[in-house]
Amino acid sequence: MPTGKYIVIEGGDGTGKTTQADMLQKHLESQDINVIHLKEPGGSPVAEAIRSVIVDGTLPRTPMTNILLFTANRHELWHDRIKPALEAGTWVIATRNYWSTLVYQGHGEGVSESIITAITATFTEQAYMNPDYGFILSLDDLATSKDRISERGALDKPDTFESKGTDFQQRIHDGYLAIAETYHLPIISASQPIEVVAEAIRDQLHI
Ligand code: TMP
């Protein structure tokens, strides 16, 4: 049986990753492809428990602790969910991957790329770090991102990263552009209508 394809949708907060992943899942299912949608951080019982610590902005911690939490989370997700699904021929759409750590903890919190890459390589596998397809949703305008985050009420409770100031959000935005270049990831403008973004994603997959 052929292995499933691993597709990663990346991008800053409020860029519409979940909406696009859901739409892509429906499209693939309409072509009789078995597909699951998983979110980082999260995706397995222990990963969900780790997620609740990660997003709790009332728990101060160092950037390195964040990296270790995200890495523990993805170690579980890879071995417990993604790898078995791919081996069983199921396609996996994941919102986020270790590229998020390179952007948020690297560009955002100042940890070096080599540390993040080395830790990720130790606790995942090459197939995790090199998905079949990966692309980045990017908003041209940071204000739109903030509006979208605010619409879902996320700014009412202190989330670790979403509620950080404009400087941090700008570093995330610029970080994604840098990662796109280094890792040859196509950038899709998330400022376009939802259907247009969905079509651009399908074009990338040639489906
Ligand atoms: P989410 O909103 O996409 O569920 O992710 C929760 C927050 O965690 C979001 O603000 C992005 C941040 N994050 C990191 O800082 N590093 C990471 O490696 C990942 C996966 C997410």
CA of 28 to the centre of ligand 1 (A): 25
Question: What's the average model confidence in pLDDT over 173-198?
Answer: 97
Rounded to the nearest integer, the mean pLDDT of the chain is: 93
Among the listed ranges 63-67, 107-111, 158-162, which one has the minimum average pLDDT value? 158-162
Which amino acid is located at 156 in the chain?
Answer: D
From the CA of 159, give the closest atom in ligand 1: 10
Question: Which residue, 32, 90, 99, 94, is CA-closest to 70?
Answer: 99
Give residue 1 CA to ligand 1 midpoint distance, Å.
Answer: 34
Per-residue model confidence (pLDDT) at position 140: 85
For residues 79 and 73, what is the distance between their CA atoms, to the nearest angstrom? 10
Query: For residue 153, what pLDDT is reported?
Result: 59
100 CA to centre of ligand 1 in angstroms: 7
* Strands lying side by side in the sheet with 133-138: 35-39, 91-95, 6-11, 133-138, 187-189
Centre of ligand 1 from the C-alpha of residue 171, in Å: 14
DSSP-based three-state secondary structure for 90 = coil
Structure token pair of residue 100? 């998020």
Nearest residue CA, atom 11 of ligand 1?
A: 161
- Fold type of domain 6-205: Rossmann fold (3.40.50)
Residues with CB under 6 A from ligand 1: 13, 39-41, 55, 70, 96, 100-101, 104-105, 161-162
Residue 121 makes CB contacts below 8 A (sequence gap 6+) with 129
Residue 174 CB neighbours (<10 A)? 13
Does residue 39 have a pLDDT over 60? yes
Quick one: pLDDT at residue 149? 66
Q: What are the sequence ranges of the domains in the chain?
A: 6-205
Atom of ligand 1 at shortest range from CA of 101? 18
Interval between CA 67 and ligand 1 midpoint (Å): 11
**Distance of alpha carbon 203 from alpha carbon 124, whole angstroms:** 29
Residue of the CA atom closest to atom 18 of ligand 1: 101
Which pTM does this prediction carry? Answer: 0.94
Q: Which atom of ligand 1 is nearest to the CA of 104?
A: 15
pLDDT score at 147: 72
Confidence band (pLDDT; 50, 70, 90) for 21?
very high
Residue 130 has pLDDT above 90, yes or no: yes
Dihedral (CA of 116, 122, 21, 158) sign: negative
Which residue's CA is minimally distant from atom 9 of ligand 1?
Answer: 161
